[in-house]
Amino acid sequence: MSDAAVLLWGVASLLGTAVLAIAVSRTPGSGTRLVYGLTLGISAAALLVLAGRVLEDPVTPSTAVLPVGLPWIGAHFRLDALSTFFLVVIDFGGAMASLYGLGYGSHEPSPHRVLPFFPAFLAGMNLVVLADDAFTFLLSWEFMSLSSWALVIVHHRERENARAGYIYLVMASFGTLALLLAFGLLSGPGGNYTFEAMRAAGPTPLVATFVLALMLLGAGSKAGLVPLHVWLPLAHPAAPSHVSALMSGVMTKVAVYGFIRVIFDLLGEPTWWSSIIVLFFGGLTAVLGILYALMEKDLKRLLAYSTIENIGVIFVSLGLALAFKANAMPSAAALALTAALFHALNHSFFKSLLFFGAGAVLTATGERDMEKLGGLIHRMPQTSFVFLVGCVAISSLPPFNGFVSEWLAFQAVLQSPDLPQWGLKVMVPAVGGLLALSAALAAACFVKAFGITFLGRPRSSAVEHAHDADRYSLAAMFILAVLCLLAGILPGLVIDGLSPVTLSLIGSRMPVQMAQPWLSIVPIAASRSSYNGLLVFVFIAISASAAVYVIHRFASHALRRGPAWGCGFADGVAGSQYTGVSFAQPIRRVFGTFVFRATERVEMPAPGETRPARFNLEVHDVIWETLYLPIGKALDFATDHLNHLQFLTIRRYLTLVFLFLIVLLLVLALWP
């Protein structure tokens, strides 16, 4: 039995678990443990199959055909190097979410609305990556979207959650329509929907242009590219936290997979100017995503906006890979594609970790508003530690994994002077500047997220009875924290593991990293640049330990206590602390006028008056208000004025059908 067939049996097991969950989901405790235990076991088994394939033969494709789907075609499935990598991301993320759910799920008030759709969601993502024809891909994509939509509206009685589900469904339908049109163009007049036939067809430059635009719309809307990101900060916080981790850390990577599969695999050789489009939207997404995150005080919405920023980083790297591939620079293209794939893996680690931490905070306090938290480091010390690891990793600070993938992206940017087109010579450094800006803003954002949530004094009574997460949730978070460190200090293992993917798509790979001395990584050549995460880790550990020893050995042994600085207040009240809004004020004043149309109004009473001073802040989502609200109003106007059509008589209906038939015949007659 082929590896692809074995993984399909795993998908069937997940679907069977979803059916079983319908029967056991109303059984408190035991039903939850059974469903999450089964999904954990199935995901772990799939990971073992994938690990064996990576170690033995990751290059030779494994295929399977099922007698379902389109007549005379069937459903085609294929496991190659690219799908193997993304299945590792999906199944590892599913295993960690299942492990977390073993503890977190006991706090879910509506388990019967979560348990049947959780394994179905995992099955849908696996099927998308395994699909080897357009019909199976689109059917699996819709199944993935609908099952995740059901998880978003679990708590549908809350108005914001119902709105999030509606917007998500609309954007998912729009994205699927774009993908349908893209595959229709790739299939050509012959209508052969298998990916193998699409590879052999070789589309014209005009068709390739339309396919690129449609894939940016279809895959970009699911991934969260600006300006198609509007559903993401609504839907991800609405779902249960382990589902939020799957949607943000894993499902967005399925969208990245769809883009890579079509643009790098099915579309053939790219044009250099197509990379400019991808670079533009990637850079814009990275900066706007993190700026929106900085303005947030809802912890889960902040993490959702941060996902948009990381998707921008991935698409910038993909744009660089397209530019280098179009100009026959295979080494640089392999470097850029490796950076994109490495960052996709890294983001699945630290974003899942952060959403798990946010879920633990929400379970312990009932709050997502950071302005009502604070001081949790004393009540949730283990959660605060692993959340800090996630914050450092996502801020791209060494020695953790986020630094390595972004460093590789910058190394790819530094290859741009060798590009022959002046458009790319200008565009790539500009996007590199946007990447640097987004990295700096990300560090500020997560200083805010950790500091306001875990440090200082409690800002409300919600924190008083908080306690650390359960052992299953902590185990999932600690595993991810360890992986964030290991991928940062031993990145050569990951880079070499990604080489079959770059070989299959680019025809080249980065130099063998595990052969480098001292486990350094060398992107192009040692004379240009290198990085050693292990030495950096050892240096940081020794320096920190030496500093602690010197301070404790030679500093004064007298214990001195004094009141903390209260910002001018005599009483050390919690209200005198820094808040998330005040933390973001300098950045808001720099970027807010253009990006958010932010306005601040201060009402200061005159001397002698007893009324309090008031501060009012208004921040607008410019993209939502300028793009989506007008569309919504136009649709409302059209539906209101066309509503009378449903009350026409049968004669008028027949007249309308006859007129549209005449118009259709005229169009066909005049079509060249």
Asked whether the predicted pLDDT for residue 438 surpasses 90, the reply is yes
Asked whether the predicted pLDDT for residue 463 surpasses 90, the reply is no
**556: buried, middle or exposed (CB in 10 Å: 19+, 13-18, 0-12)?**
exposed
For residue 555 the two structure tokens come to 């500093």
Cα gap 672→199, rounded to integer Å: 28
Cα gap 627→522, rounded to integer Å: 44
Sequence ranges of the domains in the chain = 3-509, 581-618, 626-670
Give how far Cα 144 sits from Cα of 5, 247, 367, 489, Å: 20, 10, 29, 34
What pLDDT sits at residue 632? 83
Specify the residue for token string 């850029």: 336
Q: Say which residues have a Cβ less than 8 Å from residue 311's Cβ, sequence separation at least 6.
A: 223, 224, 225, 252, 256, 285, 289
For residue 123 the two structure tokens come to 């099955």
Mean pLDDT of 614-640: 84
Cα gap 283→304, rounded to integer Å: 18
Asked whether the predicted pLDDT for residue 658 surpasses 70, the reply is yes
Higher pLDDT, 44 or 585: 44
> Is residue 239 within 8 Å of residue 247, measured between CB atoms?
yes
Q: Say which residues have a Cβ less than 8 Å from residue 226's Cβ, sequence separation at least 6.
A: 281, 284, 285, 288, 289, 308, 312, 623
Read off the pLDDT band of 566 (50, 70, 90).
low
Asked whether the predicted pLDDT for residue 572 surpasses 70, the reply is no
Cα gap 287→313, rounded to integer Å: 9
pLDDT digit string (tens) for 241-286?
999 999 999 999 999 999 999 999 998 888 889 999 999 999 999 9
For residue 522 the two structure tokens come to 């060398």
DSSP secondary structure code for residue 531 in this structure? B
> Is residue 552 within 8 Å of residue 262, measured between CB atoms?
no
Cα gap 235→227, rounded to integer Å: 16
Asked whether the predicted pLDDT for residue 31 surpasses 90, the reply is no
pLDDT digit string (tens) for 84-124?
999 999 999 999 999 999 998 888 888 888 999 999 999 99
Percent of the chain with pLDDT over 90: 57
Cα gap 120→12, rounded to integer Å: 10
> Is residue 480 within 8 Å of residue 349, measured between CB atoms?
yes
Q: Say which residues have a Cβ less than 8 Å from residue 418's Cβ, sequence separation at least 6.
A: 329, 332
Which phi and psi (to 5°) does residue 603 adopt?
-105, 105
Cβ atoms within 10 Å, residue 185: 18
Residue 21 CA from chain centroid, whole number:
27
pLDDT digit string (tens) for 388-432?
999 999 999 999 999 999 999 999 999 988 888 888 999 999 999
